[in-house]
Amino acid sequence: MTTSSLGLVAGLLLTLAVTTGGFLGLLLAVVLGGGGYLLGGHVDGQFDLGAILRGRRD
């Protein structure tokens, strides 16, 4: 299992611990799961979060 996948699972498990459900819980699960995936991918070397957050500057 890659670090990205572990980050995704960790984000989703944190969401289950924080929220009890509903539409807001679904949105929170998507956001935290995606954030965990991106952080795990950054650690794994798949994503460069600095370049993503910096954007394009002329």
Give the pLDDT confidence of 32-52 residue by residue, as tens digits.
878 888 888 888 888 787 877
Distance in angstroms (rounded) separating the CA atoms of residues 22 and 56: 37
Distance in angstroms (rounded) separating the CA atoms of residues 17 and 1: 22
Q: Is the pLDDT of residue 55 over 60?
A: yes
Give the pLDDT score at 58: 53
- Mean pLDDT, residues 19-29: 73
Global pTM value: 0.60
Kindly list the domain boundaries of the chain, sorted by start residue: 3-54
How far apart, in Å, are the Cα atoms of 50 and each of 5, 7, 12, 17, 35?
20, 18, 24, 29, 14
Give the pLDDT score at 1: 74
Q: Which residues contact 36 (CB under 8 A, 6 or more apart)?
A: 7, 8, 9, 10, 11, 12, 14
Give the rounded percent of residues in the chain with a pLDDT score beyond 90.
0
